[in-house]
Structure 1
Amino acid sequence: MRHSSRLIAALIASLILWFNSALAADRPGIVQAGFSPDAHYHLLLTAYDQDGSGFPVAAIQITDVRRNAVVYSVRKTWNTDTGVVAPGDPAAALKASQAAVLAHYGLSRPVSGQRLFMIAPLPMLAYPADQPAYRVTSLGILTLTPMALRSGCDYNDFPTRGFVLRLGQQVLQRDSRLPTSRQCASGYSLETAWTYKSSLVVIVRSYAQAFEGPNVFPLVVTGRLKQ
């Protein structure tokens, strides 16, 4: 009996170690998201501790809602190994340093809008399935469909994929190629969405192979709601 108990404890410990290693990757958390008062631009502010180094990282992305195109992005990493002192709140520090840019796009005080849904981040031990993901919202059904796309990625053990995102019959985004920023993406999942006036923002998570597990980065997909 005592031997069995030790064996079970060892198995549980091994599973915990495996579970944690499968989760170890860069997974930026959303600190703030919102629209400019005219609903033309969207701000996404994220922060996380870099996998491996533990360096704090913060990033800002501004998206033109009408064109579904990034118009400005900046990322700051505080390399504490070189004696750099990281701020207590990296996201707030980055936002303060970008005050002029945010003011230019009307995003000094972004409007959060109405949230349509929120899927709590769950532990991901594998990449999302190839099958479409659906989410019923008050505006219709969101459908996220992964699709195989070749890219220049040379270190991924998984097929690289793009996606199509639809709201009902309206196509919000259809990848024809993989940009360099996600050339090793192998899967996608829906996380959340907001509306403000006639603008829509959907956050899609992109999964890409990393040393100790998948990196899970947020993608901003925008669209104008049909009247």
Structure 2
Amino acid sequence: MAFPVLGRRPDSKLRLILAAALVLIAAVLAMIPSRASAGDLAAWQVVGYSQDGSHFAFAEYGRQDGSGFPYAALYVVDLDQDRYVGGAPFRVLPEDDQMSIGEALAQVHAQAEGTLADYGISQPARLVAADPPTEHDANPRQIAFNPIPGLTSNVAPRRLTLTTVNLPDKPICQQMGDTYGFALALDGVEVYRDTSIPKSRNCPLDYQVAAIVMPMEAPFDRAVAIISVIQVGFEGPRRRVIAVPISF
């Protein structure tokens, strides 16, 4: 029965009123912004390099799936040791779905201010190549780039390729399916390989190459690969990012 509450089929005038009401309700609901999306995709920003290019800082931010709370994290990486330093990562997760993502990001920058100063993170970075997860025309596991600044160059582009490596994770992750690490090859030569999955990756399901970042000035023989980690989220797969140092 199409109208069980009324107990009888309404006349044409009433049907028109009901149809108009349903259209109005749908329009209002469409105008209400969603506070949480299934499987949030963290955005990221480069904070900068130290003057000698030995340390790199970046941040990620978004709105948490499930809770709708904004979040932000800031990482300071020793590129020679491939590890976080100075108390990083700094994290902000206010339990307030009315707070803006921008406010959360400002808070995490304030938390990290002392560490950024201690490590001299003041050199701007150059975005050399990027492949965002919303890009559909590119290969998400490969990126080609020219490390020499300029609009034209006779130098052949470098090519970074990612392959996944099936690795076991903690038992709770194994209940959700296969988990993976990854390896990176620069121009066919392997430059990085996971041998285990760090706890911070939270049940990784897949990876993509997000970007290549270099110092704005010297040195020009090293870069950072920003890697998207597709991991188990509260409402579906979500994206976080990590930084992997590479040298030429």
- What is the TM-score of this pair, normalised by structure 1? 0.76
8 Å Cα contact 1:80-1:86 kept in structure 2: no
* Partner of residue 199, structure 2: 180
- Which of 139, 143, 146 aligns to 1:135? It is 143
Amino acid at match of 1:192: A
Contact 1:153–1:183 (8 Å) recurs in 2:
no
* Distance change in 2, residues 1:154/1:103 (3 Å): same
- Residue number among 213, 216, 224 corresponding to 2:239 in the alignment: 216
Please name the residue that 1:159 is paired with.
178
How far 1:176 moved relative to its partner? 0.3
Aligned partners of 2:112, 2:214: CA distance in 1, in Å?
A: 25
Question: Is 1:45 aligned to residue 63 of structure 2?
Answer: no
Change (3 A) 1:133 1:87: closer
Rate the CA distance shift 1:87–1:147 in 2: closer, same or farther, 3 A: closer
Give the direction of change, closer, same or farther, for the CA distance of 1:210–1:183 in structure 2 (3 Å limit). Answer: closer
Opposite residue 112 of structure 1, the aligned amino acid is A
Does 1:73 pair with 2:89? yes
1:221–1:159 Cα change, 3 Å: same
CA distance in 1, matches of 2:170, 2:46: 32
- 5+ residue gaps in structure 1? 1-12, 14-19, 125-130
Higher radius of gyration, 1 or 2: 2
Task: Give the Cα separation in 1 of the matches to 2:170 and 2:58.
Answer: 27
Describe the shift of the 1:85–1:200 C-alpha distance in structure 2 as closer, same or farther (beyond 3 A).
closer
Asked if structure 2 preserves the Cα contact closer than 8 Å seen for 1:119 and 1:192, the reply is yes
One-letter amino acid of the counterpart of residue 58, structure 1: A
Give the conservation status (yes or no) of the 8 Å contact 1:153–1:184. Answer: no
Q: Deviations over 1:37-74 (max 9, x none)?
A: 11010001121111111111111111111222222211
In structure 2, distance between residues paired with 1:122 and 1:88: 21
In the alignment, residue 141 of structure 1 is paired with which amino acid? R
**Partner Cα separation in structure 2 for residue 119 and residue 132 of structure 1:** 7
Instruction: Structure 2: give runs of 5+ residues left out of the alignment.
Output: 1-25, 27-33, 147-156
| Pairwise CA RMSD | 2.7
Amino acid at match of 1:134: Q
Deviation per CA, 1:99-130, whole angstroms, max 9, x where unpaired? 111101111x34113x2211132189xxxxxx
Identical positions, percent: 27
CA distance in 2, matches of 1:170, 1:61: 28
1:111 is aligned to 124
2:102 & 2:232 partners in 1: Cα distance? 30
Runs of 4+ in structure 1 deviating by more than 6 angstroms, as ranges, are: 84-87
Determine which structure has the larger strand proportion and give its number: 1
